[in-house]
Structure 1
Amino acid sequence: MEELLDPGLGRVRVFLMHDDNKPRKLKYNLGHRRLLTFGGAYSNHIRAVAEAGARHGIETVGVIRGEEHLPLNPVLARAAACGMTLTYLDRAAYRRKHTEEVRAALRARWGADIAILPEGGSNAAAVRGCAELPGEIPIGYDVVCCPVGTGGTLAGIAAGLPEGRRALGFAVLKGAGFLEGEVARLQREAYGRTWSNWAVNLDYHFGGYAKSTPALDAFIAKYRVEGVYVAKMLYGIVDLARRGAFAPGTRVVAVVTGQPSTPVDVCAAPTGFDSGEPR
């Protein structure tokens, strides 16, 4: 594992664990013949579901926020090439996608047998998949950190931690106080209980989803990391270490989500979360 070296860390050590959390979230969600999910025009979740559907012979439908624009951007083109059927919801309807009214309309159009996966893929099955991550960490550690969009990855990591370890998530959305309730809800749905070994930090969103500041831009340029999720988490870790939030000698594993080969400019494009409505 690569170690992050920054003078602001002092005696805190930070190790980078590259892990594409999309397959983890999907692992236990693929037991369906037909699957429908939601995302923005540049959603890595949409692409991941389409690719999984192609591999496993699952019919997939992607409900995209907004209007169709042709030619398709590379993310949606890839999804379509994998066999995903793309359909679109106007922004007002998309904000209500979690309501029974909208879901009933989708089932009426696409069939009552279609399984509906939430935007970002965070549900009880996703939590169980992400709970396997701590068991794969090859070094000793005290804290596991991850970026937080919908809460599924953090909920699972915390559930899978050994005794005495803790998880810290960094919200990438502005006004994300709802995430604490979301993480707890996801844990209850997955395991019938919650854990007290986790927290969500709300202080490093840099203005909101896909927003940045000169300080964050400089950090991204220095470490050449993805800017929407990963940079905010790593900047937060360094800043908290500088402020003494971690005891000297603390070993932190920072989960670098997404595919390492994905270009930063693609990862940083707006997705379904740029509305700040992760449902």
Structure 2
Amino acid sequence: MEAPLQQLHHPLLKEQNLELWIKREDLLHPAISGNKWRKLKYNLQEAKRQQKSTLLTFGGAYSNHIAAVAAAGEEFGFRTIGIIRGIEHLPLNPTLHLAAAQGMELHYVAREVYRRKSEADFLQALSQQFQEPYILPEGGTNSLAVKGCTEIITDIALEYDYLCCASGTGGTLAGLIAGLEGEKQVLGFPALKGGDFLQQEIEELIRNYNGKQYFNWQLITDYHFGGYAKVKPELLAFMQEFTKQHQVPLDPVYTGKMMFGVFDLLRKGYFASGSRLVAVHTGGLQGKAGFRERLGLKV
């Protein structure tokens, strides 16, 4: 598995004497790509160590994490169970169809029930119901996931000044920050509206991982385009032009918004001349099929 660095070329970069590279984590694995592989790596090892035969996790109907856990179960010999937010809709959307085709058992719960996904008594009831599975949190984010994401840093054989990454639950960003150990500048681009709440979440994830606090990072919250999984015409137009110019596919939930934000900051002169930037492509491309089906979008 390799996630190469690819340099991007654009007039804005030349004008401002900047370099921009993209870390192609989307190429790590055909089905468990990007940050999902990084987050699952040590959790799969721990599940094996505990002699667990079943993985249970949580997600929405278009969750990259649900798709990745299903693929990991098929590849590494685990039974997989997905607790899906909301009611069942048939036919299954592309994400859930893919998960079911890889053997995942889908169990739907009402949204008010789903909100209890982190409560101890709810988790205990699920554990009893499904014969003591290895439980992964929503998005796969825990200390073992943070550990896996620190390895993105060790896999970047390039000197750079800024590291940019999209953020959902904060686990990948926490791993990048912890992996850098206070060096460089890290910019996180939340995919959710009101993403400032992630500041505390990420600080707690890092503290649980290594007991430390870092100050070389910030959240850029201006590029959510209305909220999680919401898009606007200018985002879609940017993604289409970006892929045409650089031959790098983006997804509209995470990487599209992050790259839009990076280029907007370039236009605003945010980065010092002579800087080198690395943007992490976190994968998530399976979700594009759902956008095409649900909204009729060309992405």
**TM score, norm. by length of structure 2:** 0.83
Distance in 2 of aligned mates of 1:69 and 1:22:
25
More displaced, 121-130 or 73-82? Answer: 73-82
Distance change (3 Å), C-alpha of 1:268 and 1:118: farther
Instruction: Tell me whether 1:239 sits opposite 2:245 in the alignment.
Output: no
Instruction: Tell me whether 1:256 sits opposite 2:281 in the alignment.
Output: yes
Any stretches of 5+ residues in structure 1 without a counterpart?
271-279
Distance in 2 of aligned mates of 1:145 and 1:92:
34
Report how far residue 259 of structure 1 moved.
5.7
More displaced, 153-162 or 123-132? Answer: 153-162
Report how far residue 267 of structure 1 moved.
6.7
Question: Which residue of the other structure, out of 7, 10, 24, is the alignment partner of 1:6?
Answer: 10
Distance in 2 of aligned mates of 1:119 and 1:269:
24
Are the aligned partners of 1:64 and 1:89 in contact in 2 as well (CA < 8 Å)? yes
Question: Which residue of the other structure, out of 239, 242, 251, is the alignment partner of 1:220?
Answer: 239
More displaced, 100-109 or 90-99? Answer: 100-109
Distance in 2 of aligned mates of 1:263 and 1:128:
25
Question: Which residue of the other structure, out of 212, 217, 225, is the alignment partner of 1:198?
Answer: 217
More displaced, 93-102 or 232-241? Answer: 93-102
Cα deviation per residue 1:141-181 (whole Å; 9 max; x = unaligned)? Answer: 11111100010000001111266312111011001211001
Q: How does 1:92-103 map to 2 (within 5 A)?
A: 92-103=112-123
Letter in 2 for 1:190: Y
Report how far residue 88 of structure 1 moved.
0.9
Distance in 1 of aligned mates of 2:221 and 2:79:
37
Letter in 2 for 1:251: R
Distance change (3 Å), C-alpha of 1:212 and 1:154: same
Cα deviation per residue 1:54-94 (whole Å; 9 max; x = unaligned)? Answer: 22222221101111223322322222222222111111111
Report how far residue 268 of structure 1 moved.
7.4
Question: Paired residue for 1:71?
Answer: 91
> Is the partner of 1:144 in helix, strand or coil?
strand
Any stretches of 5+ residues in structure 2 without a counterpart?
26-33, 244-249, 295-299
Distance change (3 Å), C-alpha of 1:119 and 1:267: farther
Report how far residue 4 of structure 1 moved.
2.8
Distance in 2 of aligned mates of 1:238 and 1:78:
33
Distance in 2 of aligned mates of 1:13 and 1:105:
51
Are the aligned partners of 1:93 and 1:102 in contact in 2 as well (CA < 8 Å)? no
Identity %, equivalent residues? 49
Distance change (3 Å), C-alpha of 1:119 and 1:201: same
Distance in 2 of aligned mates of 1:93 and 1:162:
38
Report how far residue 122 of structure 1 moved.
0.8
Are the aligned partners of 2:55 and 2:135 in contact in 1 as well (CA < 8 Å)? yes
Report how far residue 233 of structure 1 moved.
0.8
> Is the partner of 2:195 in helix, strand or coil?
coil
Cα deviation per residue 1:212-238 (whole Å; 9 max; x = unaligned)? Answer: 223222211211332211121111111
Give the root-mean-square deviation of aligned CA atoms.
2.0
Letter in 2 for 1:72: L
Distance change (3 Å), C-alpha of 1:267 and 1:115: farther
Distance in 2 of aligned mates of 1:209 and 1:42:
11
Question: Paired residue for 1:15?
Answer: 21
Report how far residue 184 of structure 1 moved.
0.7
Letter in 2 for 1:4: L
Are the aligned partners of 1:226 and 1:268 in contact in 2 as well (CA < 8 Å)? no
Query: Which structure has more RCO (C-alpha within 8 Å, separation ≥ 6)?
Result: 1
Q: How does 1:127-142 map to 2 (within 5 A)?
A: 127-142=146-161
Question: Paired residue for 1:43?
Answer: 63
More displaced, 9-18 or 199-208? Answer: 9-18
Letter in 2 for 1:23: W
More displaced, 178-187 or 29-38? Answer: 29-38
4+ aligned runs moved over 6 Å, structure 1:
267-270
**TM score, norm. by length of structure 1:** 0.89
Letter in 2 for 1:133: I
